[in-house]
Chain A
Amino acid sequence: MAGRDITASGSRATDGRPRLEAVSPRYGEKAIFALLALCAAISVATTLAIVISLIVPSIGFFGEVPFADFLFGTDWAPTFADATFGVLPIVVGTLTVTAWALLVAIPVGLLTAIYMAEYAPTRVRRVVKPVLEVLEGMPTVAIGLFALYFARPLLEDIFPFLPWGGPFAVGVAGIAVGLMIVPLVSSVADDAMRSVPAGLREGAYALGATKMKVSARVVFPAAISGIVAAIVLAASRAIGETMVVLLAAGATPQLVAPWDFTESIQTMTAFIGTTATGDIATGTITYDTIFAVGALLFVMTLAMNMLAIRLVRRFREVYE
Chain B
Amino acid sequence: MAVDPGLPGAARTQLAVAGARATTAAALNRKGSGPRVQEGLFLALLLLAVGFALAGLAALLVWSFVEGLPRLDANLFTQGPSSLHPETAGFRTAILGSVYVIGGVIALIVPLGVGAAIYLEEYADKTRWWNRFIELNVQNLAGVPSIVYGILGLAFIVRGPLDIGFVAAAGSMTLALLVLPTVILAAREAIRAVPPSIREGALALGATQWQTVRRQVLPAAIPGILTGIILGVARAIGEAAPLLLVGAVTFVTVNPSLFEGRFTTLPVQIFNYAGRPQEVFHELAAAGVIVMLVVLLAMNSFAIWLRNHYEKKLS
Interface residue ranges, A against B (CB under 8 Å): 1-4, 6, 26, 28-29, 32-33, 35-44, 46-47, 49-50, 52-54, 56-57, 107-112, 114-116, 119, 128, 130-135, 137-146, 148-150, 179, 182-183, 186, 208, 210-212, 215-216, 233, 236-237, 239-243, 246-247, 269, 272-273, 276-277, 282, 290-291, 294, 297-298, 301-302, 304-306, 308-309
Contacts and interface: CB of A to CB of B under 8 A. Distances in A.
Nearest to B184: A43
A36 B115 contact: yes
A269 B147 contact: yes
A64 B42 CA distance: 57
B240 A146 contact: no
A139 B210 contact: no
Main secondary structure of the interface of B (DSSP, over half): helix
A108 B49 contact: yes
Given A132-B53, A139-B293, A243-B240, 20 more contacts: A28-B210, A47-B141, A49-B156, A53-B156, A111-B46, A112-B53, A115-B49, A130-B304, A141-B240, A145-B270, A145-B274, A145-B282, A146-B60, A149-B274, A149-B282, A150-B63, A236-B143, A243-B241, A247-B274, A294-B147
Interface in B231-272: 231, 234-235, 237-241, 244-245, 249, 267-268, 270-271
Contacts of B286: 145, 149
How extensive is the interface on chain B, given as a class? 35 or more
6 contacts: A40-B134, A53-B160, A115-B50, A139-B237, A141-B289, A294-B148
Nearest to B60: A146
B141 A146 contact: no
Contacts of B177: 46
B238 A54 contact: no
B53 A186 contact: yes
B184 to A, nearest CB: 7
B189 interface: no
A236 B141 CA distance: 13
Most chain B CB atoms below 10 A, which of A57, A116, A290? A290
A40 B156 contact: no
Contacts of A210: 35, 38-39
B144 A302 contact: yes
Contacts of A1: 122-125, 209
B151 A108 contact: no
B112 interface: yes
Contact of B137 (A43, A138, A241): A43
B38 A212 contact: yes
A57 to B, nearest CB: 7
B96 interface: no
A163 B201 CA distance: 71
Given A145-B270, A145-B285, A107 B49 contact: yes
A37 B72 CA distance: 47
Most chain A CB atoms below 10 A, which of B50, B155, B159, B203? B50
A212 B67 CA distance: 42
B300 A3 contact: no
B13 interface: no
A54 B3 CA distance: 77
Contacts of A298: 144-145, 148
Q: What 10 A-B pairs are tightest by C-beta distance, nearest first? A: A240-B145, A139-B238, A3-B209, A39-B115, A111-B49, A53-B155, A242-B241, A305-B143, A36-B119, A115-B46
B78 interface: no
Interface string B51-65: 011101101100110
A236 B166 CA distance: 29
B6 interface: no
B75 interface: no
A37 B123 contact: yes
B300 A134 contact: yes
